[in-house]
């Protein structure tokens, strides 16, 4: 593994984890404003039922909802429980027991959660482009070899950049232009050893959170406390890294 291979990997991770998530969040905002929601909080409450059934297996209704993977970690970034009792007198959880966190913003969402929201409650969005960003993110996070050779780097970068630009175009031409400029600036910018180390640490944090989410799928008190601790640490780490990116 050469230093250049490591730098290419770090730069691609930065494109996906830092730059593409900006695009994804903006697309979510464009979608909910187009649908008439005043804020992300309102939008989440309007779509609470759909997202609820992405986490909880017990159906509170007869809509034959399909269960897909939304973790407790992701759910509790968006919603808070307001009642311990099912208002319909049924066993199990109900979306009526939850409401969107007051003042919740798009910044709480990482690439994975953005992609999930876009796929399930947003309309007029290019699903293949969302899948491209999500799949590359997963490949980068779960690879055992934190490096990219020149060919794989070029192919991966071009694929992600094209997906970002297609999604940005759906927002506005000026946003697409800004997205292209940001991606090209990142591609040309030198990445020193300290920045590379920080990017690797961010990747490891993402990987650990994914692993702990599976542990926290159990609703035991111990796992719940572990989940809350990881949730708080993750938010702080991402805020600090975003600040570093801004300063640079």
Q: What three-state secondary structure class fits 211? A: helix
Q: Which tens digit of pLDDT belongs to each residue from 168-186?
A: 999 999 999 999 999 999 9
Tally of domains within the chain: 1
Which range (36-45, 134-143, 154-163, 187-196) has the least confidence? 187-196
Q: What is the pLDDT of residue 91?
A: 62
Q: Which tens digit of pLDDT belongs to each residue from 121-130?
A: 998 899 999 9
With pLDDT > 90 as the criterion, what percentage of the chain qualifies? 54
Contact present, 115 and 24 (Cβ < 8 Å):
yes
Q: Is the pLDDT of residue 104 over 80?
A: yes
Q: What is the pLDDT of residue 198?
A: 86
For the segment 61-83, the average pLDDT, to the nearest whole number, is 75
With pLDDT > 70 as the criterion, what percentage of the chain qualifies? 76
Q: What is the pLDDT of residue 175?
A: 98
Whole-number Å distance between alpha carbons of 32 and 78: 15
- In 3D space, the residue among 141, 131, 184, 156 whose CA is nearest the CA of residue 24 turns out to be 131
Q: Which tens digit of pLDDT belongs to each residue from 176-213?
A: 999 999 999 999 988 888 888 888 888 887 777 666 66
In sequence order, the 6+-apart residues with CB closer than 8 A to the CB of 6 are 146, 147, 196
Residue 51 structural domain: 3-247
Q: What is the pLDDT of residue 192?
A: 85
Q: Is the pLDDT of residue 39 over 90?
A: yes
Q: Is the pLDDT of residue 235 over 80?
A: no
Q: What is the pLDDT of residue 96?
A: 82
- In 3D space, the residue among 95, 115, 123 whose CA is nearest the CA of residue 36 turns out to be 123
């Amino acid at each position: 593994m050469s230093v250049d291979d490591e730098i290419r990997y770090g730069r691609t991770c930065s494109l996906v984890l830092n730059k593409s998530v900006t695009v994804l969040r903006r697309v979510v905002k464009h979608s909910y404003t187009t649908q008439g929601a005043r804020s992300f909080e309102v939008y989440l409450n309007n779509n609470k039922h759909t997202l609820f059934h992405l986490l909880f297996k017990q159906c509170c209704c007869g809509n034959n909802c399909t269960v897909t993977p939304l973790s407790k970690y992701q759910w509790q970034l968006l919603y808070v429980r307001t009642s311990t009792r099912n208002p319909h007198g049924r066993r199990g959880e109900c979306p009526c027991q939850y409401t969107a966190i007051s003042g919740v913003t798009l910044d709480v969402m990482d690439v994975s959660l953005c992609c999930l929201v876009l796929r399930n409650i947003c309309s007029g969005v290019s699903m293949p482009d969302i899948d491209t960003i999500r799949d590359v993110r997963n490949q980068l996070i779960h690879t055992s070899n934190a490096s990219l050779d020149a060919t794989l780097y070029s192919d991966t970068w071009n694929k992600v950049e094209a997906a970002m630009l297609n999604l940005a175009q759906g927002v506005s031409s000026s946003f697409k232009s800004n997205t292209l400029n940001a991606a090209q600036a990142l591609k040309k910018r030198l990445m020193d050893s300290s920045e590379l180390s920080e990017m690797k640490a961010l990747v490891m944090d993402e990987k650990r959170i994914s692993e702990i989410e599976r542990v926290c799928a159990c609703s035991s008190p111990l796992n719940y406390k572990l989940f809350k601790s990881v949730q708080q640490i993750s938010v702080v780490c991402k805020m600090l890294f975003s600040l570093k990116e801004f300063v640079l």
